[in-house]
Structures are given as structure tokens and as C-alpha cells.
Amino acid sequence: MSTMIAPTRETVRAAERVAAARRRVSLAETLSQTLAMAWRAVKKMRRNPEQFFDVALQPILFTAMFAFIFGGAIAGDVQSYLPLMIPGILAQTVLTTCMATGTQLREDLEKGVFDRFKSLPISRIAPLAGPMVADLLRYTTAATLTFGMGVVMGYRPGGGVGGVLAAILLAIITGWSLAWVFTWVGTIARSAQAVQGISMMIMFPLTFLSNAFVPVETLPDWLAAFVRINPVSHLVTAARDLANNAVVSGEAAWTLVACLVVIAIFAPLSVRSYKRHI
């Protein structure tokens, strides 16, 4: 380490550095920092492949399980249940995937490296947004596997490739938007376990109190009322229209509006509580 004193090094001049220091982070800097953080998150995923277990196994397991258990009871047989169910599973897996965003953020926040991120002259939102960009990979994997499993089981989406891709895209957008809710939970909860618990409490009502697995008409009125306003129901209906009929319905627009509302509320909340969270 004696080379530290090597004479070739240029002297550090404080006054020049003060003069060159910028007061704010620009938007371009924020974007490049977010991408750098996304790169970190992808590296992390590659080194901890178990993070992909829920993304990979859940679509396969749930598709098979739900089809055989509920298929006969709800739609008469498995084949006719698939067009109804696959978009439902799509919504569910994407939601489960974005739930992990909060848990992982919480784990990350407890690590020493977040201290360094906070001490660097970088945008405060980059450490939050970076992993979420990387999560797009996980949503894509989960959504593709769900449809893949459906096709293996005999699902023939009427909307064709274009319809299915559009449904997947809509699910990814929704997942990314809803992830801000769990990111916020990640910044306010006391431990990763608490994040997990709270997220479950949000996730289960959202997925099961929707039209994902059963027709709304079979529900009691008061429940049906909630199911109709649940954003997950909009996503499921929109995805069904896209995948089965290649129709872009008003439900897709409602889904996007819900996404924007969620981002507008939870992105600023997350950054605020992340800043406080030191």
C-alpha cells in the first residue's frame, strides 16, 4: 500500500472541487444511475438463483393445481376453465413477484452498502428504482411461463401471439406499478419478515377478491361490489380480452389509470420514507 504515496498522483485541490460541485442531480444522471443500480440487481439475481424459484415454480404449480381443482367445479371441465383462469394466474404471479420487491429492498436497506449509496452524490430514487427496472426481467419470466404452462395444458388463446404478448405487456406494466406499494412497505416496515407479512395481507385480498378465478356473478352483492373496483379485476378482464379475443377493451384503459394513480401516490411516499429511513 506504500504506492499510495507515489509522486505521480495529482494533488487534490479542495477549492477546485467545491467550484465544480453541482447542486442537483439532473434527469439524465438519474436515469444512468437507475440503470447502474439495475445492473447491480441483475448481477445479484444471477448469483442468487433461488430468487427465481417463486417466479419460475409458482406459475407452473398454480396453473396445474388450480386448473385441476377448480376447473370441473367452475367451468365444467379443465379445458374450458383455462381461458378464464390463465389471465387470472398471470395477474396473481405478477403480484407475487412484485411483492418480493419490497422484501428484497428491506433486506438491502439493512446492508452496509446502502450506507454507501446514501453517502454518494446520486439521485435518491435510483437505489429504489434500479431494482425495479431489473424486476422487469422477473415479470417477463413469470408471465411467459404462465402462458407457456397454459399452452402445455391445452390452452389455445384466441387472441393469437399478438394478443398474448399484449396481455403480458399489460401485466408487466401493472406489476411494475403495484411494486411501488410494496417498495413503500419495504421502507416503512421494521424487518424483512414484517414486509413479507404486510405484503401477504395486501396481496391475498387483491388477488382472491377479484375475478381472477371465479365469475363475479357467483359472489354475494357486497363482495361483488369490491371485486368490481379492484384494479386486479380490471387487469384480469383486460388480459382475458387481449389473450382470448385480441380486443383492447376499456378495462385496459382502467388498468393503466389505476397504475398511474398507484405510482403517483406510492413513488413519492417511498422516496420520502426511504430518505427518512437512515
Smallest gap from residue 51 Cβ to another protein (A): 11
Q: Annotate each residue in 32-71 with x if it binds another protein (CB under 8 A) or - if it does not, as one string.
A: xx--xx-xx--xx--xx-----------------------
Give the residue with the Cβ less far from another protein, 112 or 220: 112
3-state DSSP assignment of residue 48: coil
Instruction: Work out whether 30 is an interface residue with another protein (CB under 8 A).
Output: no
The answer to whether residue 73 forms part of the interface with another protein (CB under 8 A) is: no
Q: How far apart are CA 42 and CA 269, in angstroms?
A: 25
> Least separation, in Å, of the C-beta of 56 and another protein?
20
State how far the Cα of 96 lies from the Cα of 108, in Å rounded to an integer.
19
DSSP letters, 114-174, are HHHHHHSSS-TTHHHHHHHHHHHHHHHHHHHHHHHHHHHTT---TTHHHHHHHHHHHHHHH
Q: Which is nearer to another protein, 16 or 217 (CB)?
A: 16
x/- string (CB under 8 A) for another protein, residues 249-278? -----------------------------x
Stretch that binds another protein, among 82-90, 113-121, 205-213, 264-272 (CB under 8 A): 113-121
Yes or no: say if 242 and 170 are a contact pair by the CB < 8 Å rule.
yes
Question: Cα–Cα distances in Å, from 218 out to 30, 32, 65, 70, 231?
Answer: 48, 50, 21, 14, 19
Distance of alpha carbon 251 from the chain centroid = 20
- The answer to whether residue 24 forms part of the interface with another protein (CB under 8 A) is yes
- Residue pair 31/41 in contact (Cβ under 8 Å)? The answer is no
Q: Which of 14/73 has CB closer to another protein? A: 14
Q: Considering Cα of 189, then 193, then 199, then 204, what sign does the dihedral take?
A: negative
Q: Mask 122-161, x = binds another protein (CB under 8 A)?
A: x---x-----------------------------------
Return residues touching another protein (CB under 8 A). Answer: 1-5, 9, 11-15, 17-18, 21-25, 29, 32-33, 36-37, 39-40, 43-44, 47-48, 111-122, 126, 278
